[in-house]
Structure 1
Amino acid sequence: MPLTAPTPILGIDAHAHVFDRQLDFADGRRYTPDYDATLADWLAHLRSQGLSHGVLVQPSFLGTDNSHLLKALAAAPGHLRGVAVVAPDVSHSQLKRMARLGVCGIRLNLMGQALPDLGSATWAPLLEAVADMGWHVELHRQIEDIPSLWAALQRYGCKVAIDHFGRPHAAFGTGHATFQRLLELSEGGRTWVKLSGIYRLGGTHTENLSFAHDAAPLLIEHFGANRLMWGSDWPHTQHEQQVDYAGEFALFQSLVPWAAQRRAILCDGPGALFGF
């Protein structure tokens, strides 16, 4: 059963990370932070923007050791949910323990990695368990590979969350075939897209902003505002000097200037997916 939030949901940050530099980082990582991103700091950012709830996503550089994530969830029960990174052979008992602490999905961070065969015997037990538990699979991969990954997950009946606009190529624009295929994944009502990480879209600052402003209304049109989510991507790893929390929230408000749609994206969409 989903945990019960103790306070009204004023808004949900659907994508953030916490860590400290003393943790054991995963081998083969692409990035090593030299600072701490604390739960207290992130919660202060939430409050500063009038938000009440949030979702912590396991960062790639911590690998499958979710202990710091689980500790953070336990510190603010009811207000938080988590998305873990697990090995394909993780046990059902481990998944159930994480569920009790507020984890409700797994992340496939496939940036810079070979694509897995999600239909194989290696992955099938995990993805069947994810679907049975009502969890979702979060996809972080360049946009051209999203449709095939999405199709593989649909065979299990998994709900899917797509990170950072689907990681499109901003300079190509929203008319490009890859983004148009992403819009087609709205059928079935089991897919959510995060309006987040605009600075990760691969173009210049101007190209990224232009793409995001063009993409937001198209995503609302195809998916519906209640299948979209906003995430701060705090602490904006590798972009810490260029952006900040307040600025990212203000940018979201400029992308979605309509109050009813903003509320759906901040409350209804993530509330349904994460079980708040």
Structure 2
Amino acid sequence: MTAIDAHAHVFKRGLPLAANSRYAPDYDATPEDYIRNLEANGITNGVLVQPSFLGTDNSYMLEALRRYPDRFRGIAVVQPDIQQDALRELAAAGVVGIRLNLIGGQNPRFDADPWPMFLKHLADLDWQVEIQAEARRWPELLPLLLKSGVKVVADHFGKPDPKLGIDDLGFRQLLAAGNTGRVWVKISGSYRNGAGLPAAAMPLLRESFGLDHLVWGSDWPNTQFEATTGYSQVRGELDVWVPDPGDRRVVLDAAPRRLFWMMRR
């Protein structure tokens, strides 16, 4: 049966780094390494997310998508002035959305050029905009994104402030967007959110979004946390967060298959 890991990264040492990179791995995380982890943990498919430290050079990820077209989908990092033909080339390779890692940066001006046309191109492709940002930023980010017509995916539980947890007002704003039907949340990266968050957040996420808008991701190879976690451990967390096997099938299969594989053409 299909089981999809909705968030992982592949890279190798020596690839050109983004100019503003704050991190550079000293090991390889190849597609073949990733596949071995998938198969060892009963997962059939994966979504490759372009690592932030590689910037807009998506070539290594694209190579993996082309090598394993039935197994992988991709989330790219691009500049907002990219031409529509280039986006279509990415789509042909298996890319289904773009990622904005806003940690350490400013919120984009989604209502100023070139963003409106860029977002329209993404919506025309039925792509998603995946965002990693502190939850306090959701009140500013969500309204314009939803107005543009794109699908929105919140990384790592929406990243509430570890000190505030589910009481973070930005996280509450994210929950309120569940009724739009166009926002998904990745239940992933628990170690990036402070102890205890998943147990407190999961009931609220299920109530606001429904299981069909929650997807699980391993965040493999768990960059900067490699010494304290691993694939089998994060896969086991899902069994705790979603103990019912039928519910897990939704999170591992139905929800991510619809979001990443069943694109409008």
TM bucket (normalised to shorter chain) is over 0.9
Q: C-alpha displacement at 1:25, in angstroms?
A: 0.7
Contact 1:73/1:81, CA 8 A, preserved across alignment = yes
Q: 1:128 aligns with which of 120, 124, 129?
A: 120
Q: 2:8–2:217: 8 Å Cα contact kept in structure 1?
A: yes
Consecutive aligned runs of 4 or more in structure 1 exceeding 3 Å deviation: none
TM-score normalised according to structure 1 size: 0.92
> CA–CA distance in 2 between the matches of 1:176 and 1:24?
37
1:214 to 200, 205, 210: 200
CA deviation profile, 1:19-73 (whole Å, cap 9, x unmatched)? 0011111111111111100101111111111110110000000000111110010
Q: Which runs of 5+ in 2 are unaligned?
A: none
> Do residues 224 (structure 1) and 216 (structure 2) align?
no
Amino acid of the structure 1 residue aligned with 2:98: I
- Equivalent position of 2:43 in the other structure: 51
% same residue: 45
After superposition, the C-alpha distances for 1:191-238 in whole angstroms (9 at most, x for unaligned) are: 10000001111x3xxxx2x21111112111110001000000000111
Quick check: 1:54–1:79 contact (8 Å CA) kept in 2? yes
- Per the alignment, residue 153 of structure 2 pairs with 161
The match for 1:92 is 84
Moved more, 242-251 or 258-267: 258-267
Match of 1:243 in 2: 229
Preserved contact between residue 139 and residue 146 of structure 1 (Cα < 8 Å)? no
Which piece of structure 1 moves more, 86-95 or 146-155?
Answer: 146-155
Which letter maps to 1:14?
Answer: A
Q: CA deviation at 1:170?
A: 2.8
> What RMSD over aligned residues (CA atoms) do the two structures have, in Å?
1.1
Q: How many residues align?
A: 262
- In structure 2, distance between residues paired with 1:146 and 1:270: 22
Q: Deviations over 1:164-215 (max 9, x none)?
A: 00011233232343322221010121110000001111x3xxxx2x211111
Runs of 5+ unmatched residues, structure 1: 1-7
Give 1:154 deviation, angstroms: 1.0
**Residue-by-residue CA offset, 1:249-275 (whole Å, 9 max, x unaligned):** 001111110112111111111111112
Per-residue Cα deviation, 1:73-107 (whole angstroms, up to 9, x for no partner) = 01111211000000011111111111011000000
Q: Residue in 2 aligned with 1:12?
A: 4
Find 1:142's aligned residue among 113, 134, 142.
Answer: 134
- Where 1:50 maps in the other structure, the secondary structure is coil
1:32 aligned partner: 24
Alignment-mate amino acid for residue 145 of structure 1:
R
Query: Partner letter of residue 40 of structure 2?
Result: S
Which position in structure 1 is the counterpart of 2:63?
71
TM-score normalised by structure 2 residue count: 0.96
Match of 1:4 in 2: none
Aligned to 1:5: none
Please say if residues 197 and 233 of structure 1, whose CA atoms lie closer than 8 Å, have aligned partners that are also in contact. yes
Separation in 1, partners of 2:158, 2:56: 23
